Every structure is written in C-alpha cells, then in structure tokens.
Structure 1
Amino acid sequence: PDTCLPAHLPPPTPGRLIILGAGKAGGSMAAVASRFYREQHGLGDDRIVGLAVARHGYGQDAPGIRMVEAGHPVPDEAGIAATREALAMATAAGPDDEVLVLLSGGGSANWIAPAGDLTLAEKQAITRAMLRSGAPIGEINTVRKHLSRIKGGRLAVAARNARSILTLAISDVPFDDPAVIASGPTVPDPSTLAESRAICERRGIPLPETAIRLLNDPLNETPKAGDPAFARAEYRIVARPIDALEAAAAAAKAAGYEPVMLGAD
C-alpha cells in the first residue's frame, strides 16, 4: 500500500475525512492514508476519523483510526461489531465530509452485517457451505451480497449524504471486477436475488428459513446502476494480481531465471 496508494489519495475536503478499511490489507492501507493526510496536509484527530478491519494478525497502528482484527474467511463477532460501527460512521457523514473506503482481499469476511433476522451463526454456516462447494468467488460473493446490509452497494447507500465517496481497492479477484472485490460495498450490484437462489440450489447450499425469506423478498434486492447513492461515488483499483505477477517475474529474471507468465485471471 505504501507504494500504490499515495498517488491516488485526493486533497482533503473542508469537513472530516472518514476512513473505512477492510481486508487483509485494510490495516496497512488505513495506516498509509492516515500518515499521508497528517504529514502532507496537516490534518489532525479533529479531521481524521475511521475504522479498519483486518484479518486476525494483520492489524497495524494507524493514527486516528480504530483498528479491529476479525475472522477470515469465516466471519466472527469482532467483525459484526466493527461493521456496525463502520456503517454508523458512514451514515453520520455530512455534506462536507469525504468517505474514503479502502478495500482488499478478505473484505467480504471482515465486513459482516447479516441482513434481516439472519444470525451470525447462520451466516457462518452458509459461508462454510459455500467454501466447501467449490463455488468461484464471484458466486460466493453474489450470495453474500444478498444476505448483507453492507455489501453489494449498501455501504454507498449508508454514506449517501457525504460530499463524496472514494473507494481505493487492491484487487484479488479474476478480471478485477469492482462488484466482486470485497463484495462491492460501494458500487452498483449487477447480480440479483434470482441468481443467488440459483447458485444455492445448484451448489446444494442448505439455507435457514431466515435466508430463504431474504432471497425471496424483492425489497431485499441490492441497489443497481442509476441509484442516486452512487452519484458522488468514485472507484479506483490501485493494484491488481497482474501487478504482483509482473513484479515476481521481474525479480525471478533478475535472479537469473526465465519466468513464464501464464496470466493472472
């Protein structure tokens, strides 16, 4: 993050900078952003607030940012509490505030906010079943998005009163699809309830009644393109799997090997 992130960090807005990070690099990304705005723009604790959730063992000190370590790939109670706090921060964003969302691999597990009456235990069981099924990450995250209050564009809905929402993401998924990275919390969701039901049926995923009701409720559909929540939202991918592959190939070549690139997707 200290290499790929600073060039994408915009000048501060007149209000607060609300930094929300998630994923295995969520802590390090938040630390880089916090230091950048303090050192380059002189912002202090009165202007920088936020919370970052990272996998257990991946947290880092970030001035002004509360750091939480949570479960991955199966979510846990720490993730529940942290996500509740992140959603509250997003909802409280005002017309002078910028929400800076920092995403990386693992964000889908770290940000956990079960929709409706779905319990954490039920969400954990569904996650384990999806992982055992061999479903690709796109299918897993389609189901996740329709059982969540933060995924699939819903974080952008929560932060809709902010001056702007900027998402900077480190991709870990094939084809670098923003709707798949960390389950796309700040972008329109092209997937549907019907697709989620079909995936669960095809993969033989046992669902509790709470999940069945959610996947059959039209009011639980994720926000789509054209929703006003995305009018002031911007999304940038700052690093991709191909970048890591090319760096590894360059290091191998420098060591005297002849690397063969087979692709990152």
Structure 2
Amino acid sequence: MTTPSPTALLRQMFDAAIAAAQPALCLPSHLPTPPKGRTIVIGAGKASAAMAQALEAHWPGPLEGLVITRYGYQQPCQRIEIVQAAHPVPDAAGLLATQRLLQTVQGLTSDDLVIALISGGGSSLLVAPGAGLTLADKQNVNKDLLASGATISEMNCVRRHLSSIKGGRLGAACYPAQVLTLLISDVPGDSPMDIASGPTVADSTTCADALDIVTRYQITLPTAAHQLLESGAGETVKPGDLRLQNSTVRMITAPQMALEAAAKVAQAAGYTPY
C-alpha cells in the first residue's frame, strides 16, 4: 500500500470528516417505512434544508411539510417547503414560519408519521414566545444570553422555559402521531434536549434552573419572562409525558462521528490517531 503524502492524507481525512456530516450520506439509512397515514416533515436548523432535500430524494411515498433554515442556507425541494429566517437572533419571519409549522401538525392521528429534522441553530429559528412574551422580549433575552458568557446548554435551558415550542412542546403537539426526530448535533455532549433547545424531546431541567442561570450571569429579564420562570408557568414537557410515548430520537451525525471518520483514514494509512 502506498502511503499518501502528509498533504494528501490531511485532505483525505478532511473529506472523510465532511462526508460523515453530510445529510445526503448519513440521513437515508435512518428513514423508516412509510406509514399507513400521512407523512409530515417539519424541522429547523442550519442543516434542516439539506436534510429535507436528502429525505425527499430517498422517500418512496407521498410527503409534505415545512422546515425553517437560516437565511442563505436554503436547498431546492419539491414537496417540502423551505422557509428562511434569522440566526442567531430571531426575527418576524421565524415567528410566522413557526406558527405555520405548528399548524402542519394539528389534527394528526396515530396512523400518521411526523419526521422532525432538527439541527444546530434551531433555537433561534423556532420562534414561539411563551405566555405574555413578545418577539422583542425574545430578541432581547437572546442577545443578552449570547453576550453573557453562558454555555450553549445554559442558554438553551433559559430558551426552553421561555418558549411555547421548545422543550418537548413541539413533540407533544404532534400527538398521537408517530414522531421520528433525526438530529444533527453541534453542541458539546450531543444532548438531544440541547440541540435546537429540544423541541421534540423531554426536558429534565426546570424553571428554577433557568432562573438560577439568569441570576448567575446577571441577565435582566423582561417582567413577563421573569414571572413565567418564577411562577413555574414556563415549565417544559418532562420525561414520562404520555404525549411523547410515540416518539423516537436518532442522532444521525455529530462532531465525534466526523472525527472518528477522519481517524479511520489516518489509521488505514498506518497512523495511530489520538
């Protein structure tokens, strides 16, 4: 076997890492068989349009739906509508798109299947302010969180508890349909509840946790946001909630998987990766 030059090897490792994260390559093997009823595709994130494109190319039956991605990240799709909105600070386009997305999962039955395409960036693209909050409130809180020094996990804890769609609420809205969430992670630890603030998965954190984070980083909340957390009215969907009993979550790619793909190339060339 001819050992590639260092430059060629690095290029091969880079290409392998990128390929491991491409929805067109990593998504198809995770798709289920079509359901008896409808197939609805929803999603949000910087990779959601590419995920939708890959799904369309490999789905054997009818489907419909809407996904929200960042401005400039759209991909051509025939059956799934791609809507663009702002990231990292939400905007009115995201608010309207989220309202439409929620409408697409209304009135479903247990014969229907919802495929949720969720990736990094979805927290700002799924915009549904909690009770009493406005879009401006969400924008200001988001800006303060971004400037605070809080970790992504801490920021998303606060976001979940000030939202009407994050923290499992979108998944609950799909009940009694079957829900398959396909995740692309960009967060340390790859926790599903931290990817796009976990719109379809149960959340083990609490309003009290969110308040603690806000206090620790000295973030001034709008009055309505503080009341939402202090009263517990912003509580998320918790593990064991029956509305998530038909839900399945699959991590289709994550940074560690890309690193492992690059390591295999190095190993095949006779190197020991660390």
* Structure 2 unaligned blocks of 5 or more: 1-22
Quote the residue 2:126 is aligned against: 111
Partner of 1:215: 229
Aligned residue pairs total: 251
Match of 2:99 among 79, 84, 98: 84
Structure 1 residues 205 and 257: CA distance shift in structure 2, 3 A: farther
Structure 1 counterpart of 2:218, which letter? G
Deviation at 1:92, TM superposition (A): 2.9
- Residue 11, structure 1, aligned to residue 23, structure 2: no
After superposition, residues 42-81 of structure 1 pair within 5 angstroms as 43=61, 47-81=62-96
Give the whole-Å Cα distance in 1 for the aligned partners of 2:210 and 2:147. 17
Identity %: 46
* Per-residue deviation, 1:248: 4.5
User: Conserved in 2, the CA contact under 8 Å of 1:91 and 1:161?
Assistant: no
Residue 215 of structure 2 aligns with which residue?
Answer: 201
Q: TM-score, normalised by structure 1?
A: 0.90
Matches of 2:258 and 2:124, distance apart in 1: 23
Alignment partner of 1:243 out of 238, 253, 257: 257
User: Hey, what's the Cα distance between the residues in 2 that align with 1:257 and 1:131?
Assistant: 43
1:260 Cα shift? 6.3
Deviation at 1:94, TM superposition (A): 2.2
Superposed CA RMSD in Å reads: 1.7
Structure 1: runs of 5 or more not aligned: none
1:35 equivalent to 2:57? Answer yes
* Cα pair distance change 1:194/1:60, threshold 3 Å: same
**Which amino acid in 2 is paired with 1:169?**
L
Relative contact order (C-alpha < 8 Å, sep 6+): which is higher? Answer: 2
2: distance between equivalents of 1:117 and 1:76? 17
**Runs of 4+ with >6 A deviation:** 256-260
Letter in 2 for 1:114: P
| Corresponding residue of 2:3 | none
The residue type paired with residue 80 of structure 1 is L
| TM-score (normalised: structure 2) | 0.87
* Higher-Rg member (1/2): 2
Distance 2:233 2:40 in 1: 29
Distance 1:247 1:225 in 2: 33
Q: Is contact 1:35–1:63 with CA below 8 Å preserved after alignment?
A: no
* Partners of 1:103 and 1:230 in 2: CA distance: 16
